[in-house]
Structure 1
Amino acid sequence: MSHTNLNWVLENPYVQQWHIDKTHIDHYQHVNNVAYLSQVENLAWAHSNSLGLHFADYQALNRGMVIKRHELNYHLPTHLGDILECATWIVHCDNKLTLKRQFQFICPKRNKTVFDAVTTFVCVSLDTGAPKRMPKQFIDVYGKACIK
């Protein structure tokens, strides 16, 4: 099943496949909650990179988008050998300090959402960690990628 035929909550997702291997499995024999969180981080970076923003840009601008809040919802367990279609969207960007990403992971063989999340990011100075306004490059990239 193509990721375009899945029941995404929003249109035009950025999607990557996640192949579940033994490193993702916990003592209950399903994917560990920390593995989902790690995949959320990997997906957010992959999307940012695809938009043209890389960590080197963050360093050159002395700015970063750091996590303020995660809202994680685990709907169904997933297991060794599963392949998940993992999507993200930027759903809010105030072009000042904050942005939000929405995530949805679907198991195509069940055609069900197994996980979803919303993460709130705040722009900070990399050298002090203090909140700082988004530089123009962030506004140009993240603001334009925002779907709402």
Structure 2
Amino acid sequence: MTDWQWQMPDPFTMDIHVSAESVDRLGHANNVIYLQWMEEISWQHIDSVGLTWTLQEDLGKAMAIVHTEIDYKAAAFAGDELVLGTWLVEFDGRLHSRRRFQLVRPRDGRTLIEAESRHVCIDTATHRPSRIPEPMADLLKRASHDQ
């Protein structure tokens, strides 16, 4: 195993096995699958800090992605074992949050993607931006690695 380093300390991580179904015509993981992995780890992460979907439903508020940027550094291939890390890196306490991602292939120490998403709190009934309720805000503040 090659040494590699996270871009920030203490990531929330998810192990990934790249299946043959995840590979596209070019022979590497399809771009869409990276977004699916990022969504999956985001839900796992917020669940782990107590910001469950049940709580969001009860409050009638949720964090919705408004922007995603991905820098592809190297390709993933069928059979690869990967680790995806994520961090909440910014929370303004009212409406917006930001999350970073780093996908690593431990076998060779390569970072395959670096990504970032921005979120806004919405009212789940109207789908319009809405101030984050205090119970959600408290959980996001505790989970955030503000830069």
Same fold (TM over 0.5): yes
Post-superposition Cα deviations, 1:65-98, rounded to whole Å, max 9, x if no partner, equal 0010001111101100001110000000001000
SS in structure 2 of the partner of residue 49 of structure 1:
helix
Is 1:86 the counterpart of 2:67? The answer is no
Is 1:32 the counterpart of 2:24? The answer is no
Deviation at 1:6, TM superposition (A): 3.4
Match of 2:113 among 91, 102, 115: 115
Partner of 1:11: 9
RMSD: 1.2
> Structure 2: any 5+ residue segments left out of the alignment?
none
Partner of 1:101: 99
Q: Amino acid of the residue matched to residue 93 of structure 1?
A: F
User: Aligned partners of 1:83 and 1:55: how far apart in 2?
Assistant: 29
Partner of 2:72: 74
User: Aligned partners of 1:140 and 1:107: how far apart in 2?
Assistant: 34
Q: Amino acid of the residue matched to residue 68 of structure 1?
A: V
**Identity %, equivalent residues:** 30
Moved over 3 A (4+): none
Post-superposition Cα deviations, 1:18-54, rounded to whole Å, max 9, x if no partner, equal 1100121101110000000000000000000111111
TM-score normalised to structure 2 length: 0.96
Match of 1:49 among 39, 47, 50: 47
User: Aligned partners of 1:86 and 1:101: how far apart in 2?
Assistant: 13
Q: Amino acid of the residue matched to residue 102 of structure 2?
A: Q
Q: Amino acid of the residue matched to residue 101 of structure 2?
A: F
> Structure 1: any 5+ residue segments left out of the alignment?
none
